[in-house]
């Protein structure tokens, strides 16, 4: 297993600057892409998952589809691949804060603001579903907010990229599903495994929690 990367380390074309988040799938860094001199959000998949051949193939395939999603409320995937045995995803850097932090600090949002954010995220999910992807983890922490051209813009992030199946994780609990408690739709406990070619029920599993974001 590779040593964890630290701020200041390099991964291919990327210089890591700081850790901005950690989750079940891996670590997200603020990084600089040196060839283009731009700041990106660089997500590195956990080593114990990334070395699995089936998972790696699925991750790369679905990352390619995710990179084709173009929408003003979807965080853009710039680049993805494998470097030194590490799977990575380079995404648009949003200089703002996530909705979870806003809600924890301010409590319930004003109705007009809540509707504006929810509308933008609903349109983002339409764009994701149109590319045959399913998010599976729509929650406030995956919605980024920033001021842009005089108005508040909402961005959906961390979407459509393969998460490990139970077999790949070595999990044995019957009925375990990916997602975040409190933001799972009623359909989700029944379980489904594919990220591509979503059924109407799978898309509904994204749409239901999007209504409870704010």
Q: Are 94 and 75 in contact (CB under 8 A)?
A: yes
Give the catalytic positions in this structure. Answer: 137
Transcribe 95-127 into DSSP letters. -SEEHHHHHHHH-SPPHHHHHHHHHHHHHHHHH
Q: Are 14 and 31 in contact (CB under 8 A)?
A: yes
- Residues, the chain: 214
Backbone angles phi, psi at 144, to 5 degrees: -105, 145
**Beta pairing, strands 77-83 & 38-45:** unpaired
């Amino acid at each position: 297993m590779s040593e964890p990367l630290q701020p200041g380390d390099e991964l291919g074309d990327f210089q890591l600057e700081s850790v901005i988040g950690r989750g079940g799938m891996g670590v997200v860094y603020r990084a600089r892409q040196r060839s283009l001199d731009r700041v990106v959000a660089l997500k590195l998949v956990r080593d114990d998952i990334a070395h699995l051949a089936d998972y790696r193939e699925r991750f790369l395939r679905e990352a390619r589809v995710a990179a084709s999603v173009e929408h003003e409320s979807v965080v853009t995937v710039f680049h993805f691949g494998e470097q030194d045995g590490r799977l990575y995803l380079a995404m648009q850097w949003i200089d703002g804060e996530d909705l979870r932090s806003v809600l924890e600090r301010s409590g319930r949002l004003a109705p007009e603001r809540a509707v504006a954010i929810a509308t933008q995220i609903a349109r983002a999910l339409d764009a994701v579903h149109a590319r045959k992807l399913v998010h599976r983890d729509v929650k406030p922490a995956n919605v980024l907010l920033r001021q842009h051209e005089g108005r508040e813009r909402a961005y959906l992030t961390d979407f459509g990229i393969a998460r490990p199946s139970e077999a790949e994780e070595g999990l044995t609990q019957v009925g375990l599903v990916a997602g975040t408690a409190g933001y799972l739709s009623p359909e989700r406990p029944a379980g489904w495994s594919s990220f591509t070619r979503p059924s109407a029920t799978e898309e509904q599993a994204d749409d239901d929690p999007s209504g409870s974001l704010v």
